[in-house]
Amino acid sequence: DELISQIAAGEVVERPASVVRELVDNALDAGARQITLRLLAGGVRLISVEDDGIGIPHDELPVALKRHATSKIQSLNDLESVGTMGFRGEALAAIASVSEMAVLSRPEGQATAFMLDARTGEIKPAARATGTTVEVKELFFSTPARRKFLKSDATELAHCVESVRRHALARPDVGFAIWHEGKLVEQWRACHGPEAHDRRLADVLGEDFLSQSVAVHYNVGPVRVSGRAGVPDAARSRADHQFCYVNGRYVRDKVLTHAARSAYEDILHGHRQPIYALTVEIDPTRVDVNVHPTKIEVRFRESREVHQAVRYAVENALAAPRA
Ligand code: ADP
Ligand code: MG
């Protein structure tokens, strides 16, 4: 069973940033308003993710760590229309099998917090406000072959930050802070109201991103495309300022990137990269998010329609006079 968990872990957990992604997913699913990450050695020695979400009741703590234990879907039917980031119930089990994990949590109305040590299974009372902290120490300590593939602390940290950035762009209503070795490296405050998305884009990607892009709004049939797209001046061209979301989930999808790219066909010359942050909203039954354990890939039922919608959306936005 330990071995099966470790093999499953290989699919979910590649590096510290994968742990960060899963833990932040969970915090968001728990309704967190503020999420704080603390990292040591690029996340290899410690990843701690603290949230102010609904918490995990004392008696459910051991269940949360079991493989295929999820509180988020009840039936296969629910899988057709998942509204949460998680649903497979394997992240915590997988991470626990390749690290030293502790979960500290207190739901509203529970007199005290409890801490579960994943290695020993021991649960003891602890002090904490409502919410959950998951601590992951010594990632891959028992699988040195995997640990060897990790890059420098600086590189692993950069991947962790990138992972949070992807979440942060989708959820301007949630505040994020990232600490590394006791230093605050990023902080994005919660924003609300109609300008929230733009403000978060500027906070996370820089004011340039806003000034060099235009708003995208397009509805066709069941597909809604929104966000921003632009052509940066040569000096600011960035290959890493391309973000796609489907129903609030960050994805890397060939259909979407190809569609966005093709909207730039007549515009981009030389080595400039397009910049965009695009959100596709679509009836959840028309997209399968259960394609890969990392949930970073999706499959559209009508991919041609989605491709067309995204391409038109970006073309229209780029053709319109700048507001
Ligand atoms: P999934 O997210 O797919 O359900 P996970 O292994 O990531 O599976 O988490 C298992 C379960 O643990 C979740 O379904 C949830 O009930 C609980 N859980 C994990 N993290 C948190 C958190 N930060 N706040 C509240 N509950 C959590
Ligand atoms: Mg999860």
Atom of ligand 1 lying closest to residue 92 CA: 6
Higher pLDDT, 144 or 196: 196
Q: Is residue 258 part of a domain?
A: yes
User: How far does Cα 8 stand from its chain's mean position?
Assistant: 19
Asked which of 184-188, 211-215, 228-232, 245-249 is least confident by mean pLDDT, the reply is 228-232
Nearest alpha carbon, ligand 1 atom 20: 26
Q: Which residue has the tokens 């640990």?
A: 147
- Specify whether 126 is located in the same domain as 24: yes
Residue 279 CA to chain centroid, in angstroms?
14
Residue whose C-alpha is closest to residue 229's, from 263, 269, 272, 270: 263
Q: Is residue 194 part of a domain?
A: no
Over the stretch 251-284, which tens digit does the pLDDT of each residue have? 999 999 999 999 988 777 656 789 999 999 999 9
Q: Which ligand is nearest to the CA of 87?
A: 1
* Residue 291 pLDDT: 80
* pLDDT, mean of residues 102-108: 97
User: Of 15-24, 68-77, 146-155, 269-278, which range is least confident?
Assistant: 68-77
Look at residue 102 in the predicted model and tell me its pLDDT.
98
Q: Are 231 and 295 in contact (CB under 8 A)?
A: no
> Is 126 in contact with 115 (CB distance < 8 Å)?
yes
Nearest CA to ligand 1 atom 14: 70
Q: What percent of the chain has pLDDT over 70?
A: 89
CA distances (Å), 245 to each of 84, 268, 302, in order?
14, 23, 17
Q: Which helix (H) or strand (E) holds 304?
A: helix 303-319
Return the axis-axis angle of helices 153-170 and 196-205, rounded to nearest 10°.
170
Q: Could you give the CA distance from residue 62 to residue 301 in angstroms, rounded to a whole number?
A: 37
pLDDT of residue 290: 77
Residue 295, pLDDT > 80, answer no
The tokens describing 296, both together, are 């970073």
Pocket perturbation via mutation, ligand 1, pick of 26, 116, 249 by most ligand atoms within 8 A of CB:
26
Task: Say if residue 87's pLDDT is above 90.
Answer: no
State which of 70, 135, 292 you would mutate to test the pocket of ligand 1, scoring each by most atoms of that ligand within 8 A of its C-beta: 70
Q: What is the mean pLDDT of residues 88-103?
A: 91
172 and 94 in a single domain? The answer is yes
| Same domain for 176 and 222 | no
The answer, yes or no, to whether residue 46 has pLDDT greater than 60, is yes
Query: Whose CA is closest to 209, among 191, 232, 193, 225?
Result: 232
Q: How confident is the model at residue 67 (pLDDT cuts 50, 70, 90)?
A: confident
What average pLDDT is seen over the chain? 90
Distance CA 198, CA 268 (A): 24
Domain annotation covers residue 200: no
pLDDT of 81 strictly over 70 = no
CB atoms within 10 A of CB 264: 19
Ligand 1 binding pocket includes 294 (Cβ within 6 Å): no
Q: Domain for residue 113, yes or no? A: yes
Range of the domain at 63: 2-188
252, 302 contact by CB (below 8 A): no
Co-location of 20 and 169 in the same domain: yes
Measured from the CA of 53, which atom of ligand 1 is nearest?
Answer: 24
In the predicted model, is pLDDT for residue 231 greater than 90? no
Cα separation, 294 vs 30, whole angstroms = 19
Please give the angle made by the CA atoms of 12, 133 and 124, to the nearest 5 degrees: 110
Tell me what the mean pLDDT of segment 93-108 comes to.
95
Q: Are residues 184 and 56 in the same domain?
A: yes
Specify the pTM: 0.93
Q: Which pLDDT score, from 0 to 100, does residue 21 have?
A: 95
pLDDT at 80: 65
Q: Is residue 197 part of a domain?
A: no
Question: What is the model's pLDDT at position 272?
Answer: 76
Q: Which residues pair with 242 in a beta bridge?
A: 276
Q: Is residue 315 within 6 Å of ligand 1 at its C-beta?
A: no
155 and 237 fall within a common domain = no
Give me the number of domains the chain comprises.
2
Residue 158 has pLDDT above 60, yes or no: yes
The answer to whether residue 211 sits within a structural domain is yes
pLDDT for 229 equals: 95
Average pLDDT over residues 65-77: 72
User: What integer is the mean pLDDT of 67-78?
Assistant: 69
In 3D space, the residue among 24, 49, 35, 297 whose CA is nearest the CA of residue 166 turns out to be 24
Confidence of residue 237 (pLDDT cuts 50, 70, 90): low
